């Protein structure tokens, strides 16, 4: 193992890399072969792995290149972190809630064909100082990544000093002066023996192998999902959240990089995945500078997104550069390092009390209002999922995107927009809209966002969901007129039909998002969410239903589907009877 210290971009010290061919022993005495590294998070590394089979004598004759080549078909990965890292909480959650038989029983009871909950495979503790550790499989064990080349080490501020060998001294004018642990007259506090032994130990977790994360697919789609892809993801994530909540846990970090699609063994899905590194590295959208007055970020709308297919080495077709989510894709929710129990030891729900130790945990951009004060409940995950939905379909437009470095400003913005939902939805789909100034909210001043009309103290957005529906109706009428006038040209009719269908989809999507946000805003901290209602809203939107159908469902009015009357059967009909049956068939089809 390498002795050079490595640091993640968030400042956490990473464990030393494991060489290819190394073997780890889990709690059941099963050995696992370490393959190349496929990812690095904020607390550790992820390697390809497989169970060691003693019957395979050819593995002992393998070298590093042969193991790397064979590892591309391995169906398991292993997370490797420090002993005192967040992997301890994640392993405990997997042991309690993610066993295969437990998940299968839940799926049978709920009649689910798929549940995006990763299955627990194995876990253990690795102590490199133990004498009974198994020897590596191959002799020339070196550190390598999935492409066969040594991965670049992510170093922190101490990397330059470690490279020059001056970690225990001060270098002045090319001369290194030993200080015996003292720098600038300040002596470092040496850790005790118990902490040193814990630092030398590591935890590992074996999971199933998954494909690309939704964040990468969203970026390939020019940072924009259509309604079908976004709502399909949300429907499957809701099933997983319902399972997690049924066991008394809250995920507390729902985002696109923690959603992975299933791995099918294709060559285009053999690269790095996050697999729940619980990293606190700021995403690309968090590089904006926090300013007192935030400004909107304009993104280019995608022109068209197409799927390109290719052939693998086996001749099977596979999707390359996948840029959309299909209904047959399986979505898995990972990264359970921040899970929280919303039930106390006596079985009662935790109170809505501020906890500074857990405050602002997770990703600030998608964290709920409760997470900003360290209080977690089931509605927190649903609120984070709603923010992700708006982020995916609007091209990354959230009102608090440019002030992510100041948690108080983000919290104030979320509270205001969740109480003004029409302005919230209007901002996400209006590129000319400017977000409110959160500093005025903290000072107690009144805010009036642009794009709204103030009448008698009631703020109504000029482009709300109601106006979007009316505009969609007017656009459809204008498109019909244009098609009748330009019936001679086929191209104009096609363009008008496309514009009318797009406006109709946008109005349905905005109405569904408004209904979801409205339900979450009215949900109390301790109430159990109605998952069926949320899934019905998304399902009606995907099926082309209107917001009125979901509104009737919210009021408790059942939706009755009208079925055509059954036609009577007649044996050996006469010609006159055939004519009557034919007319009845036509009328039944019209109905």
Question: Which three-class secondary structure state does DSSP give residue 371?
Answer: helix
Give the pLDDT band (50/70/90) at residue 144. low
**CB neighbours of 21 closer than 8 A, spacing ≥ 6?**
33, 34, 62, 64, 67, 136, 137, 138, 141
Pairwise CA distance, residues 422 & 399, whole Å: 13
What confidence category does residue 524 fall into, taking pLDDT thresholds of 50, 70 and 90?
A: very high
Span of 143-152, 237-246, 428-437 with lowest mean pLDDT: 143-152
Sort strands 122-126 and 76-82 into parallel, antiparallel or unpaired: unpaired
- Is the full-model pTM beyond 0.85? no
Q: Give the pLDDT confidence of 70-85 residue by residue, as tens digits.
A: 888 999 999 999 998 8
Residue 203 CA to residue 205 CA, distance in Å, equals: 7
Average pLDDT of span 94-99 = 95
The number of angstroms, rounded, from the C-alpha of 62 to the middle of its chain's C-alpha atoms is 38
227's CB contacts (< 8 A; 6+ apart) are 393, 505, 508, 509, 541, 542
Average pLDDT over residues 493-511: 65
Measured CA to CA, the distance from residue 246 to residue 188 in angstroms comes to 47
375: tokens are 């209080």
The span from the CA of 160 to the CA of 347, in Å, is 52
Res. 236 pLDDT band, cuts 50 70 90: very high
Q: What confidence tier does 139 reach under pLDDT thresholds 50, 70, 90?
A: low
Q: What is the pLDDT of residue 573?
A: 60
| pLDDT for the residue 446 | 80
The DSSP call for residue 284 is G
What is the rounded distance in angstroms from the CA atom of residue 225 to the CA atom of residue 405?
26
Residues forming beta bridges with residue 77, ordered by sequence position: 48, 207
Indicate the range of 196-210, 343-357, 392-406, 468-482 predicted with least confidence. Answer: 468-482
| pLDDT of the residue at 244 | 97
Six token digits for residue 259: 């959603």
Alpha carbon distance 365, 215 (integer Å): 14
Position 317 pLDDT exceeds 50: no
DSSP secondary structure string for all residues of 417-469: HHT-HHHHHHHHT-TT-----HHHHHHT-----TTEEEETTEEEETT-HHHHH
Give 310's pLDDT tier (boundaries 50, 70, 90). Answer: very low
Cβ-Cβ contacts under 8 Å for 189 (sequence gap 6 or more): none
Q: Across 49-63, 441-455, 552-566, which has the greatest mean pLDDT?
A: 49-63
Which pair of structure tokens corresponds to residue 202?
A: 């590591």
Report the half-sphere exposure of 541 (CA within 13 A, side-chain side): 29
Integer Cα distance of 40 and 14 in angstroms: 9
Mean pLDDT of the chain: 73
Higher pLDDT, 106 or 468: 106
d(CA 403, CA 293): 9
What pLDDT shows up at residue 566?
45
Distance CA 235, CA 449 (A): 32
Q: Is the pLDDT of residue 134 over 90?
A: no
Instruction: Report residue 39's pLDDT band, with 50, 70 and 90 as the boundaries.
Output: confident
CA atoms within 13 A on the CB side of 71: 30
Q: In this predicted structure, what is the pLDDT of residue 442?
A: 80
pLDDT tier at 506 (50, 70, 90 boundaries)? Answer: confident
The answer on pLDDT for 40 being more than 80 is yes
Q: Looking at residue 249, what is its pLDDT?
A: 95
User: Rounded to whole angstroms, how far apart are CA atoms 417 and 411?
Assistant: 10
Q: Choose from 37-41, 320-324, 348-352 the range with maximum mean pLDDT.
A: 348-352
Query: Between 579 and 353, whose confidence is greater?
Result: 353
Evaluate if residue 312 carries a pLDDT over 70. Answer: no
572 pLDDT band, cuts 50/70/90, is low
Q: Which of 124-128, 199-203, 342-346, 429-433 has the highest mean pLDDT?
A: 124-128
Local confidence band at 55 (pLDDT 50, 70, 90 cut-offs): confident
Q: Hey, what are 454's tokens?
A: 């103030």
Q: Which domains does the chain have, with CATH numbers?
A: 22-98+119-138+200-206 (3.30.200.20), 210-265+322-443 (1.10.510.10)
Backbone angles phi, psi at 486, to 5 degrees: -105, 40
CB-CB contact of 334 with 275 (8 Å): yes
Q: Give the model confidence (pLDDT) of 173-191 as tens digits.
A: 444 344 444 434 434 444 4
Greater model confidence, 77 or 326: 77
* pLDDT at 457 (0 to 100): 34
Q: For residue 145, give the DSSP letter.
A: B
Residues 210-236 have a mean pLDDT of 94
Residues 411-442 have pLDDT tens digits of 999 999 999 999 999 999 888 888 888 888 88
pLDDT > 90: percent of the chain: 42
Q: Which residue has the higher pLDDT, 106 or 11?
A: 106
Task: Look at residue 301 in the predicted model and tell me its pLDDT.
Answer: 44
Q: Which two tokens stand for residue 377?
A: 């409940």
pLDDT at 53: 81
For 316-347, give the DSSP string.
-EEEES--S--TTS-EEE---TT-EESB-TTS
Higher local confidence (pLDDT), 235 or 165? 235
Cβ neighbors of 204 (< 8 A, separation 6 or more) are 24, 26, 78, 79, 80, 81, 87, 123, 124, 125, 126
Q: What does the longest C-alpha to C-alpha distance in the chain come to?
A: 112
pLDDT in tens, 187-213: 444 444 455 555 589 999 999 999 999
What band does 297 get if pLDDT is binned at 50, 70 and 90? very low
For residue 448, is pLDDT > 70?
yes
Distance in angstroms (rounded) separating the CA atoms of residues 134 and 423 = 62
């Amino acid at each position: 193992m390498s002795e050079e210290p490595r640091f993640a971009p968030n400042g956490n010290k990473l464990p030393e890399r494991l060489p290819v061919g190394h073997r780890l022993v889990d709690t059941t005495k099963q050995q696992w072969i370490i393959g190349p590294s496929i990812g690095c998070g904020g607390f550790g590394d992820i390697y390809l792995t497989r169970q060691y089979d003693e019957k395979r004598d050819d593995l002992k004759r393998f070298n590093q290149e042969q193991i790397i080549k064979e590892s591309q078909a391995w169906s398991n990965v292993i997370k490797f972190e420090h002993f005192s890292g967040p992997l301890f909480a994640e392993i405990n959650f997997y042991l309690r809630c993610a066993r295969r038989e437990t998940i299968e029983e839940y799926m049978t009871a709920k009649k689910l064909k798929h549940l995006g909950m990763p299955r627990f495979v194995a876990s253990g503790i690795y102590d490199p100082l133990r004498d009974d550790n198994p020897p590596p499989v191959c002799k020339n064990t070196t550190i390598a990544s999935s492409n066969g080349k040594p991965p670049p080490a992510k170093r922190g501020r101490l990397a330059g000093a470690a490279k020059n060998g001056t970690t225990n001294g001060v270098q002045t004018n090319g001369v290194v002066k030993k200080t015996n642990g003292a720098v600038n007259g300040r002596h470092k506090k040496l850790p005790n023996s118990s902490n040193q032994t814990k630092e030398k130990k590591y935890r590992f977790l074996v999971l199933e192998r998954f494909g690309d994360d939704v964040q990468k697919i969203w970026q390939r789609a020019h940072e924009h999902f259509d309604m079908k892809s976004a709502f399909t993801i949300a429907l499957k994530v809701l099933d997983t959240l319902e399972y997690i909540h049924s066991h008394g846990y809250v995920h507390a970090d729902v985002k696109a990089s923690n959603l992975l699609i299933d791995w099918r063994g294709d060559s285009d899905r053999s690269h790095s995945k996050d697999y729940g590194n619980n990293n606190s590295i700021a995403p690309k959208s968090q590089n904006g500078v926090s300013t007192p007055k935030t400004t909107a970020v304009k993104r280019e709308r995608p022109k068209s997104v197409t799927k390109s297919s290719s052939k693998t080495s086996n001749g099977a077709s596979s999707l390359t550069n996948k840029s959309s989510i299909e209904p047959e894709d399986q979505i898995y929710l990972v990264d359970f390092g921040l899970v929280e129990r919303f039930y106390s030891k006596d079985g009662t729900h935790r109170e809505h009390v501020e906890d500074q130790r857990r405050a602002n945990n997770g990703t600030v951009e998608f964290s709920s209002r409760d997470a900003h004060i360290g209080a977690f409940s089931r509605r927190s995950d649903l609120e984070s999922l709603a923010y992700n939905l708006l982020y995916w379909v609007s091209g990354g437009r959230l009102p608090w995107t440019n002030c992510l470095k100041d948690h108080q400003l983000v919290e104030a913005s979320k509270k205001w927009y969740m109480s003004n939902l029409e302005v919230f939805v209007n901002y996400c789909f209006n590129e000319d809209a400017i977000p409110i100034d959160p500093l005025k909210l903290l000072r107690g001043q009144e805010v009036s966002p642009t794009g709204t009309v103030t009448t008698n103290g009631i703020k109504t957005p000029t482009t709300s969901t109601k106006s979007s529906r009316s505009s969609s109706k007017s656009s459809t009428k204008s498109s019909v007129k244009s098609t009748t006038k330009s019936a001679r040209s086929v191209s104009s009719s096609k363009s008008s039909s496309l514009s009318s269908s797009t406006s109709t989809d946008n109005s349905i999507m905005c109405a569904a998002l408004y209904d979801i946000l409205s339900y979450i805003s009215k949900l109390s901290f301790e109430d159990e969410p109605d998952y069926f209602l949320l899934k019905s809203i998304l399902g009606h939107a995907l099926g082309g239903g209107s917001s009125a159908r979901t509104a009737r469902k919210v009021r408790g009015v059942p939706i009755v589907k009208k079925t055509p009357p059954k036609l009577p059967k007649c044996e050996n009909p006469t010609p006159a009877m055939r004519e009557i049956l034919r007319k009845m068939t036509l009328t039944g089809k019209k109905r």
